[in-house]
Amino acid sequence: MAAKWIELLTGSLEQKKRYKQYKARLAALPEPYGTAAKAFQRYFMYYGGVVDGETILAMWGDFVDLWERAAADGTPVRDIVGADPVEFAETFAQAYTGKQWIDKERARLTRAIEDAERGERK
């Protein structure tokens, strides 16, 4: 019962546990994969904007799987990310288009313009 109250305040404990597991898997990657994956992880924190926990966890799970597989196969980092790492990161993140923080502001802007338009017609 207490766990439900805690989760109400802090979010899903199961999601936090899974996120920590993904971070541990990233930390365990051999070089140069670990350095590359950590750089992308930082970029995703700024670029992603996804606020839905399950969507983020799906993205992190696939992301970790990608780097673990590349390390196991010995695939060069550039073969994974291509010539433009930013394009790779943004394309990868766009595949996980769950609810984003900007969605609320987009709706607010649309309503404001509609309200302004109705005010013009009076």
Topology of the domain comprising 2-121: c-terminal domain of poly(a) binding protein (1.10.1900)
121 phi-psi bin (left φ>0, alpha ψ -120 to 50, beta other):
alpha
Least confidently predicted of 6-10, 57-61, 78-82, 108-112: 6-10
For residues 41 and 84, the answer to whether their CB atoms sit within 8 Å is no
User: What is the pLDDT, as a whole number, of residue 5?
Assistant: 60
**Section 8-29 average pLDDT:** 85
**Domain definitions of the chain by residue range:** 2-121
Please report, rounded to a whole number, the percentage of residues in the chain having pLDDT higher than 70: 83
Q: What is the pLDDT of residues 29-68, one digit of tens each?
A: 999 999 999 999 999 888 866 667 788 889 999 999 999 9
